[in-house]
Amino acid sequence: MPFRYLAILALVYLYCAPQARAVPSFAEQTGQPCAACHVGAFGPQLRPYGRMFKLNGYTASDGKRHFPPIAMSTYGSFTHTQADQPGGAARWFADNDNFALDQTSLYYAGEIMRHLGAFIQTTYDGVARQYHIDNTDIRYARERDIFGIDSVWGLTLNNSPTVQDLWNSTPAWGFPYNASSLAPTPTAATRIDGSLAQQVVGLGGYVMWNDWVYTEADLYRGLGRDIRNATGIVPVAGSDGVVDTSPYWRVALQHDFGRSNWEVGTYGIVTHILPSGLSPGGRADQFTDIAADANWQFTFSPRQVASDVISAHATIIHEDQDLNASTVLSAADPHGRLTTARADVSYSIAATLTPSAQVFRNSGGEIVELAYAPFGKPDSLIHWGNVRLAAQYVMYSEFDGQTHGASRNNTLYLSVWAAWHF
């Protein structure tokens, strides 16, 4: 008998709760379904409206009060690698064929006060079994005429270079949108490609002029050991440390041309790193990352939120390395270079089924993925959250400079990702 009541209550909730959401509290605030902001009706790949929402400081709303904007997400997975990983894919895990509850995140995501909003993510990493402060971007934005032209200017306080970016070609929100923590991954990566995430804090200013020209400049500082300990950013002992101020820049040309949205741009950062936290003779390694990127999105039917959408993203990152400290510590070559590149394309069918493919270089290979998000459309049955089922296969033709045996790292990754609001 109690099960019957529970079933009735569940059905009533499904039909009466607010509309299905993206980061569900953002969607609750705007009254828009997930698909309004996100390709495939599930984050983080943004559509033009999603980019505009972020540009305007996460403050666009339907005028109703939705405070506090709290949401949750969680995803679990199965990982199979072509070759076993002797000793375990990670502590607490087997050599192969592992199930994991990858991440559970709690978000403050939405308006704080007029013109001020935030995306603050805290995450429990179910593989490392640790809690940490995750992506954070707090923004203040205003609309103003500049030289008689409509413009948006704003400030961003964030903890990962490119987490504040509007496009999915840059590292923080690039494809693949989730990946296995239990598979081998190439070690060679540029500094801007994730290794500074949550290790720094930066303040920047930006302007979008006439919906055409986007410019941004930020200054980052490395977080001290105590703060990294307190926020769960580990390992701290023996890890690299960011010193001095790291300037970051972003320039992009973008516009809507009919049903197409285009972007071409550049971004980069100059950082000074203490390898393993050491500074021999007061020296630090200097990394200069300069990148170019491009985006294209085509919306078949702009009047329909659940329209088919084709998206393509590409970026190339070149890094010059002046290893002034590493060369003293390990007799490394004092100068190095690293160039990575990747490009992906996806076709979202009715904001429900989204096949995607990516090619990547330095370590070389391809990723193919099929994602399915049943909800998040205006007429969806479930109105309080969304779920994304994905099957992903990563194929390596080169792994950390080695072609022989690279395919032993090929990975099948099946995941279930759910998000909901309170």
Partner 1 sequence: MKRVCLGLAWLAGLAGLAGFSLPAAAATQTIVQSGQAFSETDITVKVGDHVVFANKDDVNHNILVQKGDDDDDAKDMGVQAPGGSVDVLFDQAGKFKVRCHIHPSMKLTVEVQ
Query: Which member of 143, 227, 229, 255 binds partner 1 (CB under 8 A)?
Result: 143
36 binds partner 1 (CB under 8 A): yes
Q: Backbone phi, then psi, for 263, in 5-degree steps?
A: -150, 135
Determine the interface stretch with partner 1 among 143-151, 167-175, 220-228, 340-348 (rule: CB under 8 A): 143-151
- How many CB atoms lie under 10 A from the CB of residue 92? 12
Between 47 and 342, whose beta carbon lies closer to partner 1?
A: 47
Q: Does 212 bind partner 1 (CB under 8 A)?
A: no
Binder to partner 1 among 2, 3, 5, 64 (CB under 8 A)?
A: 64
Instruction: Indicate which single residue of 63, 148, 235, 238 sits in contact with partner 1 (rule: CB under 8 A).
Output: 63
Residues in the chain: 422
Locus of tokens 């990563």: 394
The residue within the footprint of partner 1, chosen from 97, 207, 211, 264 (CB under 8 A), is 211
How far from chain centre, in Å, is Cα 214?
A: 20
**Among the candidate windows 44-52, 167-175, 213-221, 246-254, which touches partner 1 by CB under 8 A?**
44-52
Among 22, 28, 30, 179, binds partner 1 (CB under 8 A): 30
| 52 contributes a contact to partner 1 by CB under 8 A | yes
Note every long-range contact of 188-191, with CB atoms under 8 Å and residues 24 or more positions apart, other chains counting: 188/338, 188/340, 188/362, 188/363, 188/400, 188/401, 189/338, 189/340, 190/287, 190/289, 190/317, 190/318, 190/319, 190/338, 190/340, 191/269, 191/271, 191/273, 191/287, 191/289, 191/319
E strand or H helix at 48 = helix 48-55
For residue 171, cis peptide bond before it (omega within 30 degrees of 0): no
Instruction: Rule CB under 8 A: choose which of 378, 382, 389, 408 binds partner 1.
Output: 378
Query: Does 235 interact with partner 1 (rule: CB under 8 A)?
Result: no
Q: Interface with partner 1 includes 305 (CB under 8 A)?
A: yes
Applying CB under 8 A, among 26, 42, 53, 360 the residue interacting with partner 1 is 53
Interface residue with partner 1 among 9, 11, 18, 144 (CB under 8 A) is 144
In the set 71, 152, 166, 200, which binds partner 1 (CB under 8 A)?
A: 152
Residue of 7, 130, 150, 381 interacting with partner 1 (CB under 8 A): 150
CA atoms within 13 A on the CB side of 145: 3
Backbone angles phi, psi at 225, to 5 degrees: -60, -40
Give whichever of 29 and 340 is closer to partner 1, judged by the CB atom: 29
Closest of 87, 140, 78 to residue 115, by C-alpha = 140
CA distance 23 to 13: 19
Is there binding between residue 391 and partner 1 (CB under 8 A)?
no
Of 18, 224, 302, 401, the one binding partner 1 (CB under 8 A) is 302
Cα separation, 57 vs 183, in Å, equals: 36
Min CB(378)–partner 1 separation in Å = 5
Quick check: 19 and 32 in contact, CB under 8 A?
A: yes
Residue 301 CB, shortest distance to partner 1, in Å, is 8
Q: Does 153 bind partner 1 (CB under 8 A)?
A: no
Question: Is 183 a residue that touches partner 1 (CB under 8 A)?
Answer: no
8, 13, 18, 62: which one binds partner 1 (CB under 8 A): 62
Query: If you write DSSP's letter for every residue of 163-210 in order, what string do you get?
Result: TT-SSTTSGGGPSSSS--SSS---S---IIIIITTTTEEEEEEEEEET
DSSP state of 295: E
Q: Which C-beta is closer to partner 1: that of 252 or that of 343? A: 252
Question: Does position 56 bind partner 1 by CB under 8 A?
Answer: yes
Q: Which residues of this protein are in contact with partner 1, per CB under 8 A? A: 30-33, 36, 48-49, 52-53, 55-56, 60-64, 143-145, 150, 152, 211, 302-306, 378
